[in-house]
Amino acid sequence: MSFKDDLEDLETAEDFLTFLGVPFDRRVVNVNRLHILQRFHNYLAEDTAIEDLDDEGMATRYRLHLQRAYQDFVTSSAITEKVFKVHQEQAQRMSDRFVPLDSLIAPLK
């Protein structure tokens, strides 16, 4: 079996982290599992040369991307990272509503 065949059996964030040998804190994964997997997917999609690697090289690259995705949520939060469209749209709506304090204060003459 190839590395990609082995990946097909993985379902959960914990499965991927364990299979790829990435140490993890269960509390971080419990809160951010979908965000970690989506960020991991995004990093893989950006890595255009990954398909040209052999199984060992591919496994190393996958591990690095998963470590990076996991670490993003150790040091930050889902809301800050805005992985999913719903968070991105909410952030945009909030920035559209921003009114600088200076614009609310009438200039003194």
Digit-coded pLDDT (tens) for 22-48: 999 999 999 899 989 999 999 999 999
Q: What tokens were used for 77?
A: 């939060």
Model confidence, pTM: 0.74
- Within-domain flag for 35: yes
* pLDDT at res. 1: 82
Going by C-alpha positions, the residue among 104, 29, 12 that lies closest to residue 74 is 29
- Number of independent structural domains in the chain: 1
Contacts for 47 with CB less than 8 Å, ≥ 6 apart: 61, 65
Contacts for 27 with CB less than 8 Å, ≥ 6 apart: none
* pLDDT at res. 102: 72
- Within-domain flag for 98: no
* pLDDT at res. 71: 95
What is the residue range of 19's domain? 3-81
- Within-domain flag for 73: yes
- Within-domain flag for 36: yes
Give the separation between CA 6 and CA 13, rounded to whole angstroms.
15
- Within-domain flag for 93: no
- Within-domain flag for 100: no
- Within-domain flag for 107: no
User: What mean pLDDT value characterizes the chain?
Assistant: 84
Quick check: 88 pLDDT over 60? no
* pLDDT at res. 76: 78
pLDDT digits (tens, 9 = 90+) for 45-86: 999 999 899 999 999 999 999 999 999 989 877 666 666 565
CA 25 to chain centre: 16
- Within-domain flag for 20: yes
